Amino acid sequence: MDTALTRLVGVRHPIVQTGMGWVAGPRLVSATANAGALGILASATMTLDRLRTAIAEVRCRTEAPFGVNLRADAADAGDRVRLIIDGGVRVASFALAPSPELIAELKAAGVVVIPSVGARRHAEKVAAWGADAVIVQGGEGGGHTGEVATSVLLPQVVDAVRIPVVAAGGFFDGRGLLAALAYGAAGVAMGTRFLLTSDSTVPDAVKARYLAATVRDVTVTRAVDGLPHRMLRTDLVAGLERSGRARSLLHAIRRAAGFRKLSGLTWRQLVQDGLALRHGRELSWSQVLLAANTPMLLRSAMVDGRTDLGVMASGQVAGVIDDLPSCAELVDRIMKEAEETRDRLMALK
């Protein structure tokens, strides 16, 4: 299927595997790229050195285009952008809107810039600043998320901007891809569906929790870091939601002490990271600490397999996914289903 997305980034299929912290590493990204879709490395949870080796690893495993997701507000965003340019990475993806200067620098070097947005006005803003395309994530999507469902947000954004729009939040099959194309999108981006593949390095015990989840086991909470965050409902989440201000501050400090050791961050860096997230938002001090810890909470689950201690970010689609195909099987299946759906619709009188 030839769409504005496949033409823009040079992939065979209009499917994107999004940048998920601790999940979207070289193995998943290269498997996605070799399957003909766009894989995006998650770099916000990597050190600069790790990002350099991860880009090299993907390059070793595939000749197909791939992307890197980064935080525009990271202190070393400039260094990361240079790694992307020097490493010949095709796509730069951003969780928060990048500045016009950053977009211009990447575009001048031939890198395609695709920010993720959760609201029409953000899509309009990055389009005006020169972004090549946008990923628009509806509220059913995993991780930090908004309130507006994909079925409402997507047509709103498609009507508002002239650049290609990639739909995210709630996609897992070929019917969804065709529905997104019908709304005017140029493709779909999926997080949870790619997490649940045999190529994803997430520990089996964690994958099993996702597979067992029903749609009602996926919740949105502000208790972890003060921002609406979609994840599996666990005892940890319930505990954070129940605990009062004083208890949650104590909890946050205790957790921060443990994670500070693990991450090698100083207390100062930890608080600075939390404050960057707090910027412009009403977060309590315990939430500031927890916000800084969010990547480590995610790591506990996604790397260490601790379903009791970790945060398992998830889209609602976890409730309808019950298998672990390889990326190649998944992409082939989705494209086949999309073609069958298209034929079925063409036959409608």
Contact with ligand FMN (CB under 6 A): which of 39, 67, 118, 141? 141
Place of tokens 């409608």: 348
> 275-298: buried (b, 16+ CB within 10 Å) or exposed (e) per residue?
eebbeeeebeebbbbbbbbbbbbb
Nearer to ligand FMN, 30 or 249 (CB): 30
Contact with ligand FMN (CB under 6 A): which of 5, 8, 11, 19? 19
Identity at 210, one-letter amino acid code: Y
Site string for ligand FMN, 172-191 (x = CB under 6 A): ------------------xx
Q: Are 175 and 285 in contact (CB under 8 A)?
A: no
Q: Which of these ranges, 1-9, 138-146, 217-225, 246-254, lies near ligand FMN under the rule CB under 6 A?
A: 138-146
* 214 Ramachandran zone, left/alpha/beta (phi>0; psi -120 to 50): beta
What's the closest the beta carbon of residue 243 comes to ligand FMN, in angstroms?
24
Output Rg (C-alpha) for the chain, integer angstroms. 19
Q: Report d(CA 244, CA 284) in Å as an integer.
A: 12
Q: Which of these ranges, 57-65, 162-170, 246-254, 278-286, lies near ligand FMN under the rule CB under 6 A?
A: 162-170
Nearer to ligand FMN, 152 or 253 (CB): 152
Of residues 62-101, which lie at the interface with ligand FMN (CB under 6 A)? 69, 95
Strands (E), the chain: 15-17, 38-42, 67-70, 91-94, 112-117, 134-137, 143-144, 165-168, 187-190, 218-221, 229-232
Applying CB under 6 A, does 115 fall inside the site for ligand FMN?
no
Applying CB under 6 A, does 26 fall inside the site for ligand FMN?
no
Contact with ligand FMN (CB under 6 A): which of 39, 176, 274, 315? 315
What's the closest the beta carbon of residue 311 comes to ligand FMN, in angstroms?
8
Contact with ligand FMN (CB under 6 A): which of 234, 287, 314, 341? 314
What's the closest the beta carbon of residue 347 comes to ligand FMN, in angstroms?
30
What's the closest the beta carbon of residue 160 comes to ligand FMN, in angstroms?
19
Helix (H, G, I), strand (E, B) or coil at 142: coil
Contact with ligand FMN (CB under 6 A): which of 142, 174, 176, 226? 142
Q: Are 188 and 15 in contact (CB under 8 A)?
A: yes
Q: Report d(CA 193, CA 172) in Å as an integer.
A: 6
Q: Are 273 and 292 in contact (CB under 8 A)?
A: yes
Residue with the CB atom nearest ligand FMN in the bound state: 191
Q: Are 171 and 181 in contact (CB under 8 A)?
A: no
CA distances from 230 to 30, 57, 216, 335 (A): 26, 30, 12, 27
3-state helix, strand, coil in the chain (%, to 5): 50, 15, 35
Neighbour tally for 247: CB within 10 Å? 13
Total site size for ligand FMN, rule CB under 6 A:
28
Contact with ligand FMN (CB under 6 A): which of 4, 44, 104, 309? 44
Q: Which of these ranges, 47-55, 58-66, 192-200, 259-267, lies near ligand FMN under the rule CB under 6 A?
A: 192-200
Q: Which of these ranges, 26-34, 57-65, 125-133, 140-148, lies near ligand FMN under the rule CB under 6 A?
A: 140-148
- Where on the chain is the footprint of ligand FMN (CB under 6 A)? 18-21, 23, 42, 44, 69, 95, 116, 137, 140-143, 168-171, 190-193, 195, 313-315, 317
